[in-house]
DNA sequence: CATTAAGTTTACATATATGTATACAATACA
DNA sequence: TGTATTGTATACATATATGTAAACTTAATG
């Protein structure tokens, strides 16, 4: 029985990089992470969605949407959430050769 | 003549952390970085705004707005741009104690 | 099981991010 | 200097992110 690395499995199951399906998948994968990060940070602080909502002034339904990537998210929202959770978000960009990184 | 570290100078000039003014400043600082990162990556690739626009299917005016933080930005837009520039964006979140990091 | 708390889903309103087209400003460069 | 290139600003249309309220689904817990 042949075994695969995750990368191999992804190639096999989702299609090779560069194809539309795969790009779509990678895209959504990254989008999902935002929601996961929000949820992770919230749980780290032992808060319910309702409590977090109160911290930034929105209803719990809104937090649920953010965590489940029901809609796209703006930078402003991301920062608002992580600020409330006393966390620091960093974005960094890796180019093909050089690496550019900003706080 | 007294000298300051950047951190000291920020505290002095903008107000201490936790105050509204300072939070606002930090917030905008981070937002600005997105535009800067986009511009930096574009120039790294030696492209004009118009060329980048063509890559992702928008007019150059739109790229200008993104680079100058004229409006808030969605994750989707960020990824679209950096994908086109063959760059990888990572978001990572540092909590007070533990550090959570995701690709 | 019944009851509460926590999270999700839906329908809807409003603000705003994205997109275009055009005019304008700044820069390079002949 | 004039001309082309590049980037910015403005006015406007459309899609959608954010926000609320209420119903619904799951866990938890007595």
Mean pLDDT (whole number) for B44-65: 94
B73: pLDDT confidence band, cut at 50, 70 and 90? very high
Cβ proximity of B72 and A78 under 8 Å = no
> Which of the residue ranges A8-17, A24-33, A50-59, B52-61 would you say has the lowest mean pLDDT?
A8-17
Per-residue pLDDT at B93: 87
Interface-testing mutation among A25, A45, A78, A95, with chain B (most B C-beta atoms within 10 A): A95
Helix (H/G/I), strand (E/B), else coil: B93:
strand
| Closest-CA distance of chain B to residue A64, Å | 17
Higher per-residue confidence, A22 vs A73: A73
Whether B87 shows a pLDDT value over 50: the answer reads yes
Nearest protein residue to D5's C1' (by CA)? B48
Per-residue pLDDT at B1: 42
Per-residue pLDDT at B70: 84
SS3 string, chain B, reads CCCCCHHHHHHHHHCCCCCHHHHHHHHHHHHHHHHHHHHHHHHHCCCCHHHHHHHHCCCHHHHHHHHCCCCCCEHHHHHHHHHHCCCEEEEEEECCCCEEECC
Burial of B16 (0-12, 13-18, 19+ CB in 10 A): exposed
Higher per-residue confidence, A5 vs A53: A53
B18: pLDDT confidence band, cut at 50, 70 and 90? low
Whether A95 shows a pLDDT value over 90: the answer reads no
Q: Give the mean pLDDT of chain B.
A: 78
Q: Give the mean pLDDT of chain A.
A: 78
Mean pLDDT (whole number) for B63-83: 92
B51: pLDDT confidence band, cut at 50, 70 and 90? very high
A1: pLDDT confidence band, cut at 50, 70 and 90? very low
Whether B39 shows a pLDDT value over 80: the answer reads yes
Question: What are the chain A neighbours of B78 within 8 Å (beta carbons)?
Answer: 75
- Global pTM reads 0.77
A71: pLDDT confidence band, cut at 50, 70 and 90? confident
The verdict on A88 touching B (C-beta cutoff 8 Å) is yes
Whether B48 shows a pLDDT value over 60: the answer reads yes
């Amino acid at each position: 029985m042949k075994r695969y690395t995750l990368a191999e499995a992804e190639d096999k199951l989702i299609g090779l990089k560069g194809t539309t399906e795969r790009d779509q998948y990678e895209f959504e994968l990254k989008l999902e992470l935002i929601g996961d990060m929000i949820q992770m940070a919230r749980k780290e602080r032992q808060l319910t969605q309702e409590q977090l909502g109160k911290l930034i002034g929105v209803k719990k339904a809104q937090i649920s949407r953010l965590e489940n990537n029901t809609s796209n998210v703006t930078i402003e929202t991301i920062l608002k959430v992580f600020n409330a959770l006393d966390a620091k978000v960093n974005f960094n960009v890796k180019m093909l050769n050089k690496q550019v990184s900003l706080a």
